[in-house]
Amino acid sequence: MKPRFWICVILAALLASCAHAGGNKPAYTFNAAVPEGWRTIATEEPMLFMTREGGYKQFVLIRERPLSEPFQFTKKTMRSGMMPEEAAQIIINEILTDPNVRNFSVTENIPARIDGHNGFRLAFVYTDLDGFIFKTIYYGCIKDNTFYNIRYGASQDDYFQKDLNTFEGVLASFKLPPAK
């Protein structure tokens, strides 16, 4: 089970599609509450990764990326002023081209507000290379020159419903940095 857990961490990082080139781990500028009973897991990427029972049960992943940074698989970038619908499509295309994702299906793609900013909400289902099925809720928004995303992923069994309210609490606690 331990290798599967790390595969999930790697998959989460790939879904975030960061092409971070190494060096020191960048600090993130957002704030979010870690739910009681959950733990954070250190990563090499500029993200906050948290789980209660392990990444193959459920996780919340929050990250930020510069708009100029190309996504790993499509090599596309975002831009300031981009409509949320365009940003959502870039994320969908990135996941579709990820070789670690199978049977990807978008079940929801709607506008959303994230800490008062216009953004999008995606819901999707996919299968990983080990055959595990995951449901994910993915919020994203652009602020200044940064793309922020917060997502909840869980195995499609009881864990998704069980921890959905916890994710909604994390989302409600999510705060972007103040205006410069």
pLDDT at res. 77: 97
pLDDT at res. 19: 36
CATH of the domain at 115: 3.40.1000.10
Is there a domain that residue 135 lies in?
A: yes
Is there a domain that residue 179 lies in?
A: no
pLDDT at res. 180: 64
pLDDT digits (tens, 9 = 90+) for 75-119: 999 999 999 999 999 999 999 999 999 999 999 999 999 999 999
**DSSP calls for the chain:** -HHHHHHHHHHHHHHHT-----SSPPPP--B-PPPTT-EEE--SSSEEEEESS-TTTEEEEEEEEETTSPPTTT-----TT--HHHHHHHHHHHHHT-TTEEEEEEEEEEEEEETTEEEEEEEEEEEETTS-EEEEEEEEEEETTEEEEEEEEEETTHHHHHHHHHHHHHHHH-BPPPP-
Is there a domain that residue 140 lies in?
A: yes
pTM of the full structure: 0.83
pLDDT at res. 155: 86
pLDDT at res. 149: 97
Range of the domain at 99: 2-19+27-173
Is there a domain that residue 97 lies in?
A: yes
Is there a domain that residue 121 lies in?
A: yes
Mean pLDDT in consecutive groups of 10 residues from the start of the chain, 180 residues:
44 41 62 94 88 86 95 96 97 97 97 97 95 94 96 85 94 88
pLDDT at res. 42: 87
pLDDT at res. 6: 39
Is there a domain that residue 178 lies in?
A: no
Total domains in the fold of the chain: 1
